[in-house]
Amino acid sequence: MTRRTHGTAGEPNPLRALDLDRLRRRTSMKWRTYPDDVLPLWVAEMDVPLAEPVVRALTDALALGDTGYPAGTAYAEALAAFAEKRWGWTGVDVGRTAIVPDVMLGVVEMLRLVTGPGDAVVVNPPVYPPFFPFVAHLDRRVLGAPLGAAGRIDLAVLEESFQQAVAGGRRAAYLLCSPHNPTGTVHTAEELTAVARLAGEYGVRVVADEIHAPLVVGDTEFVPYLSVPGGEDGLSLMSASKAWNLAGLKAALAVAGPGSAADLALLPEEVGHGPSHLGAVAHTAALRDGTAWLDALLAGLDDNRRLLARLLAEQLPGVRYRPGDATYLAWLDCRALGLGDDPADVFLHRGRVALNRGLPFGTGGAGHVRLNLATSPEILTDGVRRMAAALR
């Protein structure tokens, strides 16, 4: 695949657009879970205004009263064009896509297609916490194959889990998080090819959550799982929701490869009832016309990563932070601070800053916190100051 370079084309950094007073008027989860003296740097919502093309598309729809049910394939077409431009990947075939309400419900529906009740779903902890309850709620068993050194997939551990998962002739799936939340790891083509080889060998079906795919920084290449040799029978979930902050505008896409098209064709029609038409309108506009905004965001996130590394080195040198190549989440190893398994609790109660607790991320989460750096440099600076104050 060809590497595309991105420029910011004069677009202002969206992370600098909103001050704390405006943000505190928001009514979403990030801003309404904690009291006003707590600075929220937790759930994956970004402190940005919407990209202008998204505002325009939504405003036009509202002006028309175009608020009915979703129709057509515009979202899938926008994703196909984005994938080709951004990743040099032509594998999104609109006929092999389905609109789903959001990525997590899409994950559940894909797992339902390729496994049965009681079957195992392999995940790589520490990983996005909802993977555990959503899989359990579907009546599947979660099998952990912890990430190895440097937050990368450990193929030997993965193979052991695959072996265990299919024991007794059971069907099994691997829920791959690509790029990985919380470490920001971007899996390489070699790693994903090895994953596909193992999955093929053991008959494990791969469901790839690729929601963070547009949020890959600099020269790092995002490799769609379906694009690697052997990945053709995988199923992917993609969405504009993380990269353009559209979680409240429900819509995502399930994408099948040539080898999984027959599975996706069995998706019951009622699943398509969940996504919102306005969601599809917003996601389509983001993918089609929101790349200049995205590039400006990525540049701002890069600055914030460097800022965070510097602030931590100055004020909390005991915290280990390895900036990832994707997402706007920072996975902080706080074990050397002596705050026990749940340092987020100490930062919250003594520092008045809300971070995600590491424990719900599973094995490897103890002593860690996840910090959301999709905010202004000023708020990020205040967040680290509050963390440091918690230790005094």
Ligand X SMILES: Cc1ncc(COP(=O)(O)O)c(C=O)c1O
Q: Which residues form the interface with ligand X (CB under 6 A)?
A: 44, 102-104, 128, 177, 181, 209, 211, 239, 241-242, 247, 252
Shortest approach of ligand X to residue 363 CB, angstroms?
Answer: 17
From the centroid of its chain, how far is CA 296? Answer: 19
Residue closer to ligand X, measured from CB, 108 or 114: 108
Q: Would the CA dihedral through 112, 118, 120, 126 be positive or negative? A: positive
What is the identity of the amino acid at 148?
G
Shortest approach of ligand X to residue 101 CB, angstroms?
Answer: 8
Look-up of token digits 């194959």:
145
For residue 173, which of 249, 84, 108 has the smallest C-alpha distance? 108
Shortest approach of ligand X to residue 246 CB, angstroms?
Answer: 9
Shortest approach of ligand X to residue 218 CB, angstroms?
Answer: 20
Q: Are 361 and 128 in contact (CB under 8 A)?
A: yes
Residue closer to ligand X, measured from CB, 92 or 123: 123
Instruction: Give 193-261 as a 3 state SS string.
Output: HHHHHHHHHHCEEEEEECCCHHHECCCCCCCCHHHCCCHHHCEEEECCCCCCCCCCCCCEEEEECCCCH
State the Cα angle at 292 between 86 and 85, rounded to 5°: 15
Shortest approach of ligand X to residue 206 CB, angstroms?
Answer: 15
Residue closer to ligand X, measured from CB, 240 or 346: 240
Shortest approach of ligand X to residue 193 CB, angstroms?
Answer: 22
Residue closer to ligand X, measured from CB, 252 or 332: 252
**Structure tokens belonging to residue 192:** 């994903």
Shortest approach of ligand X to residue 252 CB, angstroms?
Answer: 5
Q: Are 384 and 359 in contact (CB under 8 A)?
A: no
Residue closer to ligand X, measured from CB, 213 or 387: 213
Residue closer to ligand X, measured from CB, 15 or 252: 252
Q: Are 255 and 238 in contact (CB under 8 A)?
A: yes
Residue closer to ligand X, measured from CB, 316 or 369: 369
Q: How many CA atoms lie within 13 A of 3 on its CB side?
A: 7
Using only C-alpha atoms, the chain has a radius of gyration, in whole angstroms, of 20
